[in-house]
Amino acid sequence: MIGDHTYLLDKGQIENASQVQLTTGESTRVSHVGNYHLGGGDILTNFLCVPGFNFNLMSVSQMSKDLKCCATLFPNCFVKQDLSSGMVREIGKEEEGLYTMYSQAGNKKKGLEKCFAVSHEAYAIIWHQKLCHVPTKVLKRIPMFQDFNKNNSFTLNNCEICPLARQTRLPSPYSLSRSAASFQLLHVDVWRPYKWETFDD
């Protein structure tokens, strides 16, 4: 559902549409129906235009059908994944009770506005991301961040990638094996022992 019909593609006007009750208490009618471009080539069909509505709302069910994807909702964010490959297509934030998803064009504009005011905290976030989301204690080993976080005003707990990257499906068993020589156990121990022995005792 959208409030401005100029954002719709292949739109058509609806005659004698039923009334919609807005959150302000006013009533209005659905004026147009069309396709909505999310960015990155994603297009949603049968998007309704309700004049006077100030937000763009999207049905998760309709999105999963149109884009062949699934959405996983977390308390502070959501993850949109491809159904066939499982690849993460987008991560959005929870803001005031709604899960917010920004289009790629909006993200670029937002990034350009923020790039002119890079603080010491922003440098830490950039390095945190470039170093594959290392913890704060590892980040403090860089000389420019050694006296960082002394006033406890900064934390990397708001990073959306860290909890997703560190999740595991099964706990790793504790290994009791000991090697007698260097590199003896350097074969496929990651996914349990291999079916053929690779060295002789």
Q: Mean pLDDT in each 10-residue stretch from start to end of the chain (201 residues)?
A: 80 80 78 80 82 79 86 86 84 82 50 42 77 80 69 60 69 73 61 61 49
pLDDT value of position 8: 83
pLDDT value of position 72: 87
d(CA 9, CA 44): 10
* Helices assigned H by DSSP within the chain: 60-67, 104-114, 120-130, 136-139, 161-165
Phi then psi for residue 60, to 5 deg, are -65, -35
d(CA 2, CA 32): 10
Count of positions (residues) in the chain: 201
* C-alpha separations of 17 from 9, 33, 49, 51, 193 in Å: 19, 11, 11, 12, 65
pLDDT value of position 150: 57
CB 61 within 8 A of CB 36: no
pLDDT value of position 106: 45
pLDDT value of position 113: 37
pTM: 0.44
pLDDT value of position 12: 82
pLDDT value of position 110: 43
pLDDT value of position 156: 64
Given the structure tokens 């409030």, which residue do they identify? 3
